[in-house]
A = this chain, B = another copy of it.
Amino acid sequence: MRIVECVPNFSEGRRKEVIDKIVEPFRNGKGFSLLDHRADENHNRLVVSLAGDPEAIMDALMTSAGVAFSLIDMNAHTGAHPRVGALDVVPFTPLRGVTMEECVDIAREFGKRLNEKYEVPVYFYEEAATRPERKNLENVRKGQYEGLKKAINEPERLPDVGQARLHPTAGATVVGARKFLVAFNVNLGTTRIEVAKEIAKSIRFSGGGLAHVKAIGLALEDKGMVQVSVNIVDHEKDPLYRVLELVRMEASRWGVPVVETEIYGMVPASAIYQSAARYLQVADFEPEQIIELRLLEMAGDRS
């Protein structure tokens, strides 16, 4: 059983009928499952979560991309989220029976297929990057659709696949391979936004904190709280419990309590049992002890 997660991001978060048509090829798919999809009007963006066999996912993605390319015109697109194309980003993540190296191969193959069929230039990022500076998605998307249209001829902005011009309406697509990203928010019992910002800064990598953590501080006005909003880019190396306890410790400087937390969206079982085993002080916990993980193996062996 080879299972990857794939989270394509499309530049459409407002037109319901367009969103439905883009999502349609992912419904009732064979060999993979539509785990989640959510559109944000403010971002004007659709985020889809798929899991299953990489080949099956690629096939459905090709169909869905065709729909998106025919219905989205990047020249008319506005939204709060940075983007360079109608199918903006496609990250592949190893889940079971697939290595990161294989996900890099999958990303490269998908990029080639996408360009061959639709003539959309493709960039590779994170583990699939061909140049060090392209590991970081923000570097690839610099200037966004409008900026890249002009800059694409510059040697350092040339696409990895395809010619040096954006697709006239679909822009470009950034395809990559990366570890599973866990979104974990910690809500604090204060309305002082500077407390959340200070804590976010102290726990994130760029501020001297944990190596695989990105974080920002936000106000939650309707709740009368503030939030440290965290992305854990490698939850095996920086587990949830460590993030929480570090936030709690930093918050104690201001006498501010952790009121509650939120795991946003999908999470791998390992992120959960890792923290459970730590807090429960379990000496040698093995994932093979979890019945459902064994049943999943069974199901895989049979298919």
Seen from chain A, the residues whose Cβ lies within 8 Å of a Cβ on chain B are: 3, 5, 33, 35, 51-52, 95-96, 187, 240-241, 244, 258-263, 265-269, 272-273, 275-276, 279-285, 289-296, 298-300, 302-303
Contacts of A276 in B (CB 8 A): 240, 272-273, 275-276, 279
Is A292 in contact with B293, judged by CB distance below 8 angstroms? Answer: yes
A3 nearest in chain B by CB position: B295
Contacts A52-B298, A285-B263, A291-B269: A280 and B35 contacting too (C-beta < 8 A)? no
The residue in A241, A276, A299 that gathers the most chain B C-beta atoms within 10 A of its C-beta is A276
- Which residue in B51, B265, B291, B300 is a CB contact (below 8 Å) of A51? B291
From known contacts A265-B289, A267-B289, A289-B266, infer whether A244 and B295 are also in contact, taking CB-CB under 8 Å: no
> CB < 8 Å: which of B51, B261, B267, B300 contacts A281?
B261
A3 to B292, CA, bound (A): 10
Interchain CB contact under 8 A, B279 and A291: no
Quick check: A296 and B294 within 8 Å, CB to CB? no
Residues in B neighbouring A275, C-beta threshold 8 A: 276, 279-280
Nearest-neighbor residue (CB-CB) of A281 within chain B:
B261
Contact B260 A294 (CB under 8 A): no
B residues in contact with A290, CB < 8 Å: 266-269, 272
By beta carbon, the residue of chain B nearest A294 is B35
**Interface pair A280/B244, CB less than 8 Å apart:** yes
* Assembly CA distance A69 to B69 (angstroms): 68
Query: In the complex the two chains form, what is the Cα distance from A103 to B241 in whole Å?
Result: 37
A95-B267 in contact (CB<8A)? no
Cβ–Cβ < 8 Å partners of A52 in chain B: 295, 298
The CA of A284 and the CA of B260, in the complex, are separated in Å by 9
5 new A-B pairs (CB below 8 Å) besides A96-B292, A269-B291? Answer: A33-B298, A241-B279, A262-B283, A266-B294, A269-B293
Q: Which residues of B contact A285 (CB under 8 A)?
A: 263
Assess the B35–A291 pair: CB atoms within 8 A.
yes
Task: Give A243's nearest chain B residue, CB to CB.
Answer: B280
- Given known pairs A35-B291, A294-B33, the reply for A280 and B51 (CB within 8 Å) is no
- 29 CB contacts below 8 A, A to B, read A5-B291, A33-B294, A33-B295, A51-B291, A96-B295, A187-B283, A241-B280, A258-B281, A260-B281, A262-B282, A263-B280, A263-B282, A263-B285, A266-B289, A266-B291, A267-B289, A267-B290, A268-B291, A269-B269, A269-B290, A272-B272, A272-B273, A275-B276, A275-B280, A276-B276, A279-B279, A292-B296, A296-B299, A299-B299
